[in-house]
Amino acid sequence: MDGLALSLLGAAAAAFLAGIGSSIGVGLAGQASTGVIGEDPEKFGKVMLLTALPGTQGIYGFVIAFLVLLKLNILGGDIPTVTTAQGWHLFFACLPVAIAGMLSAVHQGKVCAAGVQMTAKRPEESGKALILGVFVEFYAVLGFLASFLVSSGVQVGS
């Protein structure tokens, strides 16, 4: 496998795995939210943020994938030469956001779903539920930063 293919595989993994995790996490929180809103539509505003929160990991994966595509000038058309070593470097640079994004989004969805249930019983505590969901977000942010920093160190075409 050549360097360009490895780089593109890494970018795809970042976008797909983090996106899959986000869709599962938002789905989990969304299921809990629809049950609560069905009983009390007034709580929509309180559960909406908890439902959306697991979606951020998909955004992180997409941003890293986009940055890799920019580095490879895929959108510009004049694609530089990418050595196999550079390809592996970019591939592995994408893994932190791919894996941390996928796993943290699923677990954040579970925390947010529990937070939605807590909000159903005690609406005044919805802020605490959101804070607990943000704790899981921290690890997705670390995966994003790791991927960003490592991929920034790769110079292709030289």
pLDDT digits (tens, 9 = 90+) for 66-120: 999 999 988 887 888 889 999 999 999 999 999 999 999 999 999 999 999 999 9
Q: What is the pLDDT of residue 94?
A: 97
How distant is the alpha carbon of residue 140 from its chain centre?
7
DSSP state of 42: G
Kindly list the distances between the CA atom of residue 123 and the CA atoms of 20, 39, 108, 116, in Å, as whole numbers in the listed order: 30, 13, 20, 9
CB 112 within 8 A of CB 129: yes
Burial class (CB in 10 A: 0-12, 13-18, 19+), 2: exposed
Condensed to tens digits (0 to 9), the pLDDT of residues 7-42 reads: 999 999 999 999 999 999 999 999 999 999 999 999
Q: Which two tokens stand for residue 141?
A: 């942010």
CA distance 128 to 121: 13
CB 45 within 8 A of CB 5: no
The chain-wide mean pLDDT, for the chain, equals: 94
Report the half-sphere exposure of 94 (CA within 13 A, side-chain side).
28
The pTM (predicted TM-score) of the whole model is 0.91
Ordered structural domains, the chain, with CATH: 3-152 (1.20.120.610)
Q: What is the pLDDT of residue 128?
A: 94
The pLDDT > 90 percentage for the chain reads 87
Q: What is the mean pLDDT of residues 112-132?
A: 94
State yes or no: pLDDT of 158 exceeds 60.
no
